[in-house]
Amino acid sequence: MRINGVQIDDTFAEAFSMKATRLVITAIDLYWAYRAANSFTGFASSVIDCGCEAAIERELKPSETPDGRPGIAVIIFAMSTKQLTEQVRKRVGQSVMTTATSACFSGVESPNRIPLGRSLRYFGDGYQMSKKVNGIRYWRIPVMHGEFLCEETTGVVPAIGGGNFLVMAKTSRHGLAACRAAVKAISRILGAGTTFPGGIVGSGSKIGSRYPFLTASTNHRFCPTIKGLVSDTELTGEVGSVLEIVVNGIDERAVRLAMRDGIRAACAFGPKKGIYRVSAGQYGGKLGPYHFHLHELLK
Amino acid sequence: MSALTLTLTGHPEEPVDMSPLVPDRLRGLRTPQVSALLLRCGNRTLRVRDLFRVTAGEAGRLRVLRSTARLDAVGAGLQAGDIDVHGPVGAQLGRKMAGGNIRVEGDAGLGAGCGMSGGSITITGRAGDFVGAALPGERAGMTAGTIYVHGGAGDRLGDRQHRGLIVVEGDVGDYCGSRMLAGTIIVLGTAGRYVGAGMRRGTIILRHRPRLVSGTFNSCGMLKMEMLRLLFRQLPRAHRRLASLKSMLPLAERLAGDLAVGGKGELLVLEGAG
């Protein structure tokens, strides 16, 4: 299969099950909401060593937020509800509550709930108060800027992590231009998130390593500087840079749409702009049960 | 299908206990069976047909026409369904109701919504004393639900209230929110003396400065309260009649109290309060 002259490999992206929640972070204006959201989603690129994966989903207009202030929707993914609970508590406590004028609300409906304000309220040192509004309990934690308002719990939904595709380009500059366009296209898909810096992975990994203490190591088959050394390299001579876009989603549909739109956006650059091939990371079924076949997605 | 309708045909000389006539208990009954139900009227027991003309209708909705203040305990113990009352009602409207909706086009007597644990009550006229309060001998007043009074209300509104929301558009009497345990009261008219006396927790929002506040409330100054912003935005979503709240600013003087009993409650006197 070719799109705009770009070869699409007959392969699939192998994704795995995760747990996720969406949070709505509001503040006095969008600038401060972004400060909180950026801090919240910082150091959350991969569960390999961050404990979670998190991304900004989109900006929210005041009419879309519970308190009528500008906000940011963020999605956080983890491998289990327990890990998610811990990461939410730490990140909301240290990144959102510390941002002046911020407030934090649940952004997903689900009967499965994890603590949000319920675990943070103790910061109020006995001066905290709760208020139930329309059946939802909020915690009011007195802080130095006023009150930190936080919904008591947030919903947890099953999610998918590790949807991905690889863009093989002439150079990193060519690859980045195409991948940035792909990330922009993905950002329009609700429920999908690209958790790596700028949405692009410069050092994609494979499962395992020759070193027993490592669970993941460089995806050597896609490393251009060692393609002459590696017998099972996937790269041809003209490829000088491979960038990966990893997409997580709160459901299969979000991942599917995000991969489709992302690949199409990258392919729009074509070989004349240094984009030669698109492939995907699969690990022989060792990683997870979700298989997103590129040819099926792009039909 | 229209509502099951009870039209009062006379003027009862004594208070009538209307508690047997709630939609969830009338479900499955035919009109003659409803007409034959027994009601306490003072020290007598009467049939429904002795007082009302019964018109068949959907059992989940009850309409009471030509109501008087002699009809007590309308909607008491209601679990689900709607009750629409045209005219005033007596004491203990919606007593211990757990769900459903009651609307009274007229005044309500003492203890409207006392001990309720869910549902909503709307009173287009004036309500008496002890709205949403505890029943005599009980420790807690309403524990959930919404009471909306379009007119004013008497003394001790929300006495011992334990969660839930009471909104009064008009004036309220003395001791509003007294001994409150939690919950929210919004008074858009003026409040009488000693608002929040003895309140442990909870929030009383006042559009006008109360006449006299106990010395056991301490001012925390004029503040922008994000909780008010949330409240003014979220309440109109669930209760259309609270649409006027949307235009209110989240600025208020916060009076923390009652310090005599812990001081975890608050009076929020909105900015511009006269």
Residues B54, B100, single domain; the answer is: no
Specify the number of domains making up chain B. 2
pLDDT in tens, B161-171: 999 999 999 99
Q: Please identify, among B39, B66, B93, the residue that sits at the C-terminal boundary of a domain.
A: B66
Q: How many CB pairs under 8 A join A and B?
A: 43
Q: What pTM, to 2 d.p., does this model score?
A: 0.91
Same domain, B81 and B54: no
Q: What's the average model confidence in pLDDT over B208-214?
A: 88
Say yes or no: B116 and B194 in one domain.
Answer: yes
Rounded-to-integer distance, Cα A201 and Cα A221, Å: 15
SS3 label, residue B70? coil
Tell me the two tokens of residue B210.
Answer: 């109360």
Domain boundaries, chain A: 2-14+160-297, 18-157
Q: What percent of chain A has pLDDT over 70?
A: 100
d(CA B235, CA B241): 9
- Answer yes or no: do B134 and B1 share one domain: no
pLDDT in tens, A79-119: 999 999 999 999 999 999 999 999 999 999 999 999 999 99
Of B201, B227, B238, the CB nearest to A134: B238
The shortest C-alpha distance from A90 to chain B (Å) reads: 23
* Average pLDDT value for chain B: 93
Supply the pLDDT for residue B239.
82
Which residue of A lies nearest to B143 if distances are taken between CA atoms?
A: A132
Closest Cα of chain A to B229: distance in Å?
A: 6
Q: Pick the range with the lowest mean pLDDT from A47-51, A184-188, B72-76.
A: A47-51
Question: What pLDDT is attached to residue A285?
Answer: 76
Domain of residue B185 covers 69-270
Among A16-30, A164-178, B229-243, where is mean pLDDT lowest? Answer: B229-243
In this structure, the answer to whether residues B255 and B130 fall within a common structural domain is yes
Q: Using the CB atoms, write b or e for B187-210: b if 16+ within 10 Å.
A: bbbbbbebbbbbbbbbbbbbbbeb
- Residue B84 half-sphere exposure toward CB, CA atoms < 13 A: 12
CA-based nearest distance A132→chain B, Å: 8
Judge whether A2-14+160-297 and A18-157 match in fold: yes
Measured distance CA(A232)–CA(A226) in Å, rounded: 11
- As a whole number, mean pLDDT of residues B238-256 equals 89
pLDDT value at A179 more than 80: yes
pLDDT digits (tens, 9 = 90+) for B6-61: 999 988 989 999 999 999 888 888 999 999 999 999 999 999 999 999 998 887 89
B254: nearest CA partner in chain A: A146
Do residues A132 and B238 touch, judged by C-beta distance below 8 A?
Answer: no
Residue A164 in this model has a pLDDT that exceeds 80:
yes
**Burial of B2 from C-beta contacts in 10 A (0-12 / 13-18 / 19+):** exposed
> Alpha-carbon distance B103 to A7, whole Å?
68
Nearest Cα neighbor of A34 from A63, A78, A69 is A69
Tokens of B35: 């007409």
Query: Which band of pLDDT confidence, cut at 50, 70 and 90, is reported for residue B274?
Result: low
What is the pLDDT at residue B272?
67
The more confident residue out of A4 and B211 is A4
Nearest to B214 by CA among B176, B184, B271, B252: B176
Domain match, B132 and B230 both:
yes
SS3 A167: strand
B81-129: per-residue pLDDT in tens? 999 999 999 999 999 999 999 999 999 999 999 999 999 999 999 999 9
Q: How far apart are CA A14 and CA A65, in angstroms?
A: 35
Which residues in chain A have their CB less than 8 angstroms from residue B225's CB? Answer: 146-147
Percent of chain B exceeding pLDDT 90 equals: 81
B230–A66: do the CB atoms touch at under 8 Å? yes
CA of B238 vs chain A CAs: smallest distance (Å) = 7
Mark yes or no for CB contact A66/B184 under 8 Å: no
The domain defined by A2-14+160-297 folds into Alpha-Beta Plaits (3.30.70)
**Residue B152 shares a structural domain with residue B30:** no
Contact of B158 with B192, CB cutoff 8 Å = no
B37 and B159 share one domain: no
Q: Which of B24, B49, B66 is the last residue of a domain?
A: B66
B271: left (phi over 0), alpha (psi -120 to 50) or beta: beta
Q: Give me the mean pLDDT over the A139-167 stretch.
A: 96
Residue A74 three-state SS:
strand
B85 & B201 share domain: yes
* Residue B274: burial class (beta carbons within 10 Å; 0-12, 13-18, 19+): exposed
Q: How far apart, in Å, are the Cα atoms of A31 and each of A28, A69, A100, B137?
A: 8, 12, 11, 54
Question: C-alpha angle with apex A85: A80 to A87, nearest 5 degrees?
Answer: 95
Residue B211 CB neighbours (<10 A): 12
pLDDT at res. A42: 96
Q: Say what the pLDDT of residue B167 is.
A: 96
List residues in chain A touching B: CB distance below 8 A.
Answer: 66-69, 103, 129, 131-134, 136, 138, 140, 146-147, 149
* Among B residues 151-190, those touching chain A with beta carbons less than 8 Å apart: 163, 184
Q: Do A66 and B227 touch (CB under 8 A)?
A: no
Residues in chain A within 8 Å Cβ distance of B264: 129
> Which of B163, B223, B266 faces A132 most closely, judged by CB atoms?
B163
Q: Write the ipTM.
A: 0.89
> Domain check: are B151 and B194 in the same one?
yes
Q: Do B224 and A146 touch (CB under 8 A)?
A: yes
Q: Which fold has domain A18-157?
A: Alpha-Beta Plaits (3.30.70)
pLDDT one-digit tens code per residue, A8-52? 999 999 999 999 999 999 999 999 999 999 999 999 999 988 999
The pLDDT value given to residue A154: 98
Does B231 have pLDDT greater than 90? yes
To the nearest whole angstrom, how far is the Cα of A20 from the nearest Cα of chain B? 25
What's the pLDDT score for residue B135? 87
CATH classification at residue B75: 2.160.20.60
Of B48, B66, B84, the residue that ends a domain is: B66
